[in-house]
Structures are given as structure tokens and as C-alpha cells.
Amino acid sequence: MIATIDPATGETLARFEVHAVAEIDARLGDAARAQAIWRWRPAEERAALLPRLAALLRAEKDALALLITTEMGKPVGEAAAEVEKCALNCDFYAEHAPAMLADAPVAAVPGTTLAFEPLGVILAIMPWNYPLWQVVRFLAPALAAGNGAILKHAANVPQSALALERLVREAGFPEGLFANLFVEPGDVAAVIADPRIAGVALTGSTEVGAIVAGQAGAALKKQVLELGGSDPFVVLADADLDRAAAVAVTARFTNAGQSCVNAKRFIVEAGVADAFAERFLAGIAALKLGNPRDAGTTLGPLARGNLRAAIDDQVRRSVASGAQLRTGGTMPEGPGFYYPATLLDHVAPGMAAFDEETFGPAAAIVRAADTDEAIALANRTSFGLGASIWTADADRGRALARRIDAGAVFVNAMVASDPRVPFGGIKRSGYGRELGEAGMKEFTNMKTIRVADPA
């Protein structure tokens, strides 16, 4: 079902029909025709439309934030920050895309340059947790690079998809270059296989990523996959515990814990674990669970009822396996998909909160005997998206960062995506990169052009 269901109440607010085969074909055809012309416009002209999109996003920030909150439940203040981040992403690529896409001479081979040319129309399969940001972080560089895009958004954020389609059109991008498709999951394979689709960008679960990778691989099409994560937040004995615990609350409970790069496993050296846990508990107690439309709310509902059931099940299984429940862990009564901020202590490998991705407001403290064990525990996961390390010695933190298996490691800071640097993971967290120059070039053809002296 493609519908807007208010997570705060469980009420279905709007339903949408899936697109018929003829409509899918028409939209793919329009995108291919538009991209065939768009690709030849100079990069400066393509990038010049991005500030218009940024301006539209900012002009409608309040309305877009309320739409995000209505569709997936994050507090409206967080939703407004998401809209602003989208605008900043557009600003960044407007300024830097032309230089990133410029021909690059190969110094070792005179007469040789590398050209970066668009691949074509890219299918973007995007999740609900950041319904505008996840799309725009892909879309801005993709359009600037000369590609077109078809969006298959999550079924519970259809109005966010429609809003983006409208904004891109109003910013002046060619008609049809970016289009939304309302399709059921079972119909995605046919879209991937369509010869007018040149590549696939997916942000979502590891399970869905494996399916899409197989479908795209069978069609020999480029993929960028940003999948799940079980990010470690490593607190060493010399860390500033007050600051680490304060950031830990934000790193875990932003967006109700529904992010691939939320910190999930808080791995703390045993000598400071009790002190950290008390500070963490105090920060959790200050969170306000409530209506996400209220300005004072800092923890909203989960996006869907099945997500709440899943996190509750993981908490219960972890406690049954020996974890200590410090706060939360009780399913609230009443309407909506609310779940309290929950802290599990003395979590260890073999427990659900350690082994599985926890996509909700539950944090797990894992106690490590020393630094070496903390790093080993951080790497004891099938995921490899982000990680953070907390220590008073920045040089030591930088050295330890190289020992952690992840696409990004932040020292004395929480993991966050940034338009200026590449973002992505390893292992079951996916492959390829978004953002930065590397992300810009993922969906380009790096063409070698060598010109020999006619003589």
C-alpha cells in the first residue's frame, strides 16, 4: 500500500494508486529523452539550477518539515534541519560540481586526459527515514553530472516524493528529467532491467540491498548501495565523559534511532563504564517523548508499527539473554507508534542488541576490559558504515581509527554525512560512495581520451 499514515496517531491520511505499466513506460521515456539533451549542456549551466532548488527548499522549509513529520514522525525541528541540509547540499554542488567534472590531464601520459561523462538515467530507491535528504544527497550531484533520475521512494512517504518532483520542476530542470514512480516492490526488477535505466542507487536495508544488487548485477548495471549499520561509539578511559555522554544521547536518539549511522553499540572501557552509564542515563531522562509537531518534543514516534514491534522484540530478547535494562523497554499504550528511550547495559556478543541492527530508540552499553578489546568488539559485526572514538589524545584516536572496519570514523564527534566528503560503508553496509567528489563521479563514465601527435 502506498499511503501516508501518521505515526503519531496511526491514522491513514492519504492513499495513492500505483502507476500503470503505460505510465511507467511514459515516465522512463520522458526521462531518457530529457537526459539525452541535458547531458550536453555545460556543467556550469547544469549546476546553475541547483541554487534555485536550494532557494525553493528554504522558502518552503516550514511546510516541508511538517510534511516530513506527518509522514514519518520525526520531531518538526529535526525535520526543518533536514530541509536545510538538502539546501546546503545543493549549494555545495552548485559551487563545486563544474570543477569536479572538469577534464583531468594524466601527467604520466602526455596528450591524455580523463573525461567524466554521465551514465544516463539512474534509478534511486530511497528510504523513509530522511525522506528529503536521502533523495537530494543523491539527486543534486547526479543531475549536476548530467544524469537523469527516476525515484522509487518508500511507500510510506509518497507526499514527500511528490513534493520533491514538483520542486525540481519549479527550479527549472527539464520536464521529465526527474520523475517519481509509485510502484510495488515486486515491480522494481522490471524497472531495473529496462534499457533506459543506466544504474541504481539504493539506500535501505541490507536484505533489500542484496536483492537489488542481484537484479542490477544480472543486467550489468552500476550500483551504489548504502545499507544497514551497527555503528560502535567507543569511549576510552581518558575521554571527556561529560561531553561523550551528551553527544551519545544525540548520536543514538536523533530521529528516534532510525538511521543507519546512529550510534548503536556504546563500547566503554570498564574503568569508566559506570560513570559513563550514569551520565548517559541522565541525558536520556531529559528527552521528551511526545507529539512530533510540538516544538518541545525531542523524541517522536517510530515511523511504522512493525518497526516499534521489532525494537521491542530486540530489547526483550537482549534482556532474556542477560542484558540489564536501565530505563525504558515498555511499550506505551494509546495511539501512535511511540516507544520510550531505552538503555541496555552489560550487553555482549550473542545478544540481539549487539549482533543485530537496532533501528529504534534503544542503546546498548558494552563493557570492554581495555582499548584492544574495545576495538575488537567494535569490529565484531557484519556491518561497516560508521564509528566514533572518544579519547583525550587526538593522535591516538587517529591511529585507532585506522584499526576500525568502517567507511568513516569520527574522533571525538558523532558520525554524520557531509556534502564535502564521501559517505558509504563496507562489509554488509554496502559499497560505493555518495557525496563529495567521489560520490559525484560514481555515476559517471571515466573516459580515457588519448591524442597522439599526427606526425
Residue 119 pLDDT: 98
* Cα–Cα distance for residue pair 44/192, rounded to 1 Å: 30
- With a pLDDT cut of 90, the percent of the chain lying above it is 99
Please state at what angle helix 50-59 crosses helix 76-101, rounded to 10 degrees: 170
What confidence tier does 453 reach under pLDDT thresholds 50, 70, 90?
confident
Residue 70 pLDDT: 98
Residue 91 pLDDT: 98
Looking at residue 173, what DSSP letter applies? P
Are residues 219 and 239 part of one domain? no
Are residues 71 and 198 part of one domain? yes
Are residues 197 and 162 part of one domain? yes
Are residues 177 and 243 part of one domain? no
Residues annotated as catalytic (active site), given as ranges: 226, 260
Q: Find the CATH number of the domain harbouring 46.
A: 3.40.605.10
In a domain, 416, yes or no: no
* Cα–Cα distance for residue pair 124/133, rounded to 1 Å: 13
Please state at what angle helix 50-59 crosses helix 158-170, rounded to 10 degrees: 130
The answer for residues whose C-beta is within 8 angstroms of residue 162's C-beta and 6 or more apart is: 180
How many residues comprise the chain? 455
Question: Tens digit of pLDDT for each residue in 82-133?
Answer: 999 999 999 999 999 999 999 999 999 999 999 999 999 999 999 999 999 9
Residue 105 pLDDT: 97
* Cα–Cα distance for residue pair 75/82, rounded to 1 Å: 11
In a domain, 421, yes or no: no
* Cα–Cα distance for residue pair 329/360, rounded to 1 Å: 11
Mean pLDDT for 352-377 is 98
Mean pLDDT for 201-219 is 98
* Cα–Cα distance for residue pair 377/268, rounded to 1 Å: 10
Distance from CA of residue 250 to its chain's centroid? 16
Mean pLDDT for 180-200 is 97
Residue 178 in grid coordinates = 526527474
Are residues 207 and 339 part of one domain? no
What confidence tier does 176 reach under pLDDT thresholds 50, 70, 90?
very high
Are residues 241 and 205 part of one domain? no
In a domain, 417, yes or no: no
Are residues 251 and 206 part of one domain? no
Whole-number average pLDDT of the chain: 98
In a domain, 418, yes or no: no
Domain count, the chain: 2
Are residues 442 and 361 part of one domain? no
Are residues 443 and 329 part of one domain? no
The answer for residues whose C-beta is within 8 angstroms of residue 214's C-beta and 6 or more apart is: none
Are residues 345 and 376 part of one domain? yes
In a domain, 164, yes or no: yes
What confidence tier does 1 reach under pLDDT thresholds 50, 70, 90?
confident
Mean pLDDT for 256-278 is 98
Q: How many CB atoms lie within 10 A of CB 447?
A: 11
On the question of pLDDT at 24 being above 80, the answer is yes
Domain that holds residue 207: 2-227+429-450
On the question of pLDDT at 455 being above 80, the answer is no
Question: Tens digit of pLDDT for each residue in 269-298?
Answer: 999 999 999 999 999 999 999 999 999 999
Residue pair 211/227 in contact (Cβ under 8 Å)? The answer is no
Mean pLDDT for 262-273 is 98
Residue 427 pLDDT: 98
Please list the residues that pair with 411 across neighbouring strands: 389
In a domain, 368, yes or no: yes
Are residues 116 and 22 part of one domain? yes
What confidence tier does 454 reach under pLDDT thresholds 50, 70, 90?
confident
Question: Tens digit of pLDDT for each residue in 382-425?
Answer: 999 999 999 999 999 999 999 999 999 999 999 999 999 999 99
In a domain, 298, yes or no: yes
What confidence tier does 341 reach under pLDDT thresholds 50, 70, 90?
very high
In a domain, 120, yes or no: yes
Q: Find the CATH number of the domain harbouring 257.
A: 3.40.309.10
Question: Tens digit of pLDDT for each residue in 147-162?
Answer: 999 999 999 999 999 9
The answer for residues whose C-beta is within 8 angstroms of residue 454's C-beta and 6 or more apart is: none
Are residues 271 and 252 part of one domain? yes
Phi, psi of 304 (to 5 degrees): -145, 160
Q: What is the pTM of this model?
A: 0.97
Mean pLDDT for 362-367 is 98
Alpha carbon separation from 59 to 22, 70, 83, 90, 168 (Å, rounded): 35, 19, 10, 14, 14
Q: In what order do the strands lie in the sheet with 444-450?
A: 104-105, 112-118, 444-450
